[in-house]
Amino acid sequence: MFGTKKPLWGPQPEQKKHYDAVLIGGGLHNLATAYYLAKEHGMTNVAVVEKRFIGFGGAGRNTAIVRANQRTQENVPLYKDALDLWPQLTKELDFNLMFNNCGNVNLMHSEAAMKAARMNVSTAQFLGVESHVLDAKQTKELVPALNLSQDITHPIHGSMYHPPGGIVRHDAVVWGLAKGAAKLGVDILQQTEAQGISTRQGKVTGVDTSRGHISTPKVMVSAGGYSAGIISHLLGLKLPISVLTIQAMVTQPLKPLLNHVVSSGAYHVYCNQTLKGEIATGAHMDPWPNYTTQVTARYIKHQAEALTEFLPCLRGVKFMRAWGGLADMTPDMAPIMDGNDPLDGFFMNCGWGYFGFKSSTATGRYMAEYMATGECPQRLRPFTFRRYEQHKLMGETAALVNYTPDN
Amino acid sequence: MALMITCPVCGRRNGYEFRYGGEDKGAYPWGQDMDPRQWAEYVHMNSCTAGVQKEWWYHRDGCGSWFTIFRDTVANVEVENPEERT
């Protein structure tokens, strides 16, 4: 029965001998880049090369949360652009991305955290992103299930409330973008591994895949957690990235209980209730580099303990599934987006850590502009690879905590 | 399967007792004339090996030793020194 269903993006195309651009990695960033290359820049002779299947990596393993309440003034506008794109793309792609802007509630558990929240909210308001500081009582009004008791490990002082954020159906975004890109003529080559990038006199000339050689003047690597390994292995270019395993899980379905995404830095927990009623919750990362996506009992226990402290009604609820994914962390918790440096025609879009999902569509659009015109869009300029040697690290600390193995 | 690490003092212990100390990048470049790019290379850049790599660990919840081990980052297990094996 299932075998008769054709993919939305058509049958697997034959790999051509030449493309105007080859995008390595079949995740959201590259599918969005391919879509916008074709749609806004008329570049339709483009291939997306994916070793496994589209949406295998972070695109299919995240907890579907989107928001624009980051810390730095360089980051916030990029995430805001992405947030504004979801309803627009739903129409454009004629595919329901199930964007539910239920709002995000970040719990704060100390006066210091409240101060940080006030700084974040100021940045957001300055940049036109709606965000508020709430005290404990107001937070409880939004999320009645919360436990305001002083008798827990991290009592709740208040929260940062960000109404425009929420959740988007991650698989729908993969399928919708793949459908949109394929319709415009992009070749999505699954089960095709990029094995080499050929260069001549400082210029990209082609890509070798498991299906043969492609000649192309432009290559982008944006393969989530695998990007840094691919770039270091194929080009010998080392990046300031550590790849860590991050785990998530869902409970059995429950009656409606949470109307917002609720997260807590101190407890290392973020959770939301899916449309099916499951509580989807993410844990933090094993603080050492890993390419495994296996799960560990340690985090299942941790999530259960943390969740039931501030949402005591979840006691006794069972976890149904757990999974792991990869996060490519940079020292300043901000991504690396760069092009034509050190090689002409080579572009990279990586180091997204666990934020890549939220920003994928806007980033794809800007990277498409960068690849098509050769001019770096203003929005992406602060994210240059050279910022590390210039000692201009970003300090994007709105992340729940500093998760890199450097801490 | 959780990571187990062999501390030179305490023996094989649960990986969560330890803190990762980065890829082994050789000796600290004391007294060398380095430009900012070379420093960034030493301080920030990683090989991100999917496979066996040599790396530093610190026995935080134990004896406090710093030491290196070889670990397979794909299987997430400590392995013997691959050079000694050959």
Task: Please give the pLDDT value at position B31.
Answer: 84
Task: Please give the pLDDT value at position A1.
Answer: 53
CA distances from A336 to A35, A249, A393, B22 (A): 21, 28, 11, 20
State how far the Cα of B55 lies from the Cα of B64, in Å rounded to an integer.
Answer: 16
Structure token digits, residue A165: 């954020």
CA distances from A199 to A217, A229, A233, A344 (A): 9, 18, 14, 9
Q: A328 contacts in B (CB within 8 Å)? A: 48
Measure B84 CA to nearest chain A CA, in Å. 23
Mean pLDDT of B40-66: 95
Q: Inter-chain contact A389–B36, Cβ cutoff 8 Å?
A: yes
ipTM: 0.93
Helix, strand, or coil (residue A358): helix
Structure token digits, residue A309: 């402290």
Q: B58 contacts in A (CB within 8 Å)? A: none
- Residue A349, sorted as left (phi over 0), alpha (psi -120 to 50) or beta, turns out to be beta
Which residues are within 8 A (CB) of B30 and not within 5 positions of it... i.e. 6 or more apart? none
Averages of pLDDT over each 10 residues, chain A, 407 residues = 78 97 98 98 98 96 94 94 97 96 96 91 96 97 97 96 97 97 98 97 98 98 96 96 94 97 93 95 90 92 96 97 94 94 96 94 98 97 96 71 45
Helix, strand, or coil (residue A144): coil
State how far the Cα of B6 lies from the Cα of A231, in Å rounded to an integer.
Answer: 31
CA distances from A381 to A360, A367, A390, A393, B27 (A): 17, 11, 14, 13, 34
Task: Please give the pLDDT value at position B30.
Answer: 86
Task: Please give the pLDDT value at position A284.
Answer: 83
Task: Please give the pLDDT value at position B85.
Answer: 57
For A375, which DSSP code?
S
Task: Please give the pLDDT value at position A331.
Answer: 87
How does the average pLDDT of chain B come out, rounded? 92
Q: Are A194 and A56 in contact (CB under 8 A)?
A: no
Measure B71 CA to nearest chain A CA, in Å. 10
Interface of B with A in 27-86 (CB under 8 A): 36-37, 39-41, 44-50, 53, 55, 73-76
Mean pLDDT of B24-28: 92
- Residue to substitute from B16, B43, B44, interface A, most A β-carbons within 10 A: B44
State how far the Cα of A63 lies from the Cα of A324, in Å rounded to an integer.
Answer: 11
- B42-54 pLDDT per residue, tens: 999 999 999 999 9
Structure token digits, residue A10: 């058509």
B20 touches chain A (CB under 8 A): yes
Q: Inter-chain contact A288–B20, Cβ cutoff 8 Å?
A: yes
Q: Give the count of alpha carbons within 13 A of A394, CB side only.
A: 27
Q: Inter-chain contact A294–B16, Cβ cutoff 8 Å?
A: no
State how far the Cα of A8 lies from the Cα of A176, in Å rounded to an integer.
Answer: 8
Q: Are A404 and A331 in contact (CB under 8 A)?
A: yes
| Residue B83 identity | E
Cβ atoms < 10 Å from Cβ of B17: 17
Helix, strand, or coil (residue A214): strand
Pairing assessment for the beta strands A203-209 and A212-215 based on DSSP bridges: antiparallel
- Residue to substitute from A233, A292, A296, A330, interface B, most B β-carbons within 10 A: A292
State how far the Cα of A265 lies from the Cα of A123, in Å rounded to an integer.
Answer: 19
Closest to A79 measured CA to CA, from A322, A350, A351, A356: A356
Q: A244 contacts in B (CB within 8 Å)? A: none
The reported pTM is 0.95
State how far the Cα of A177 lies from the Cα of A32, in Å rounded to an integer.
Answer: 6
A241 touches chain B (CB under 8 A): yes
String of b and e for A262-271 (b: at least 16 CB within 10 Å)?
bbbbbbbbbb
Q: Are A341 and A185 in contact (CB under 8 A)?
A: no
Task: Please give the pLDDT value at position A208.
Answer: 98
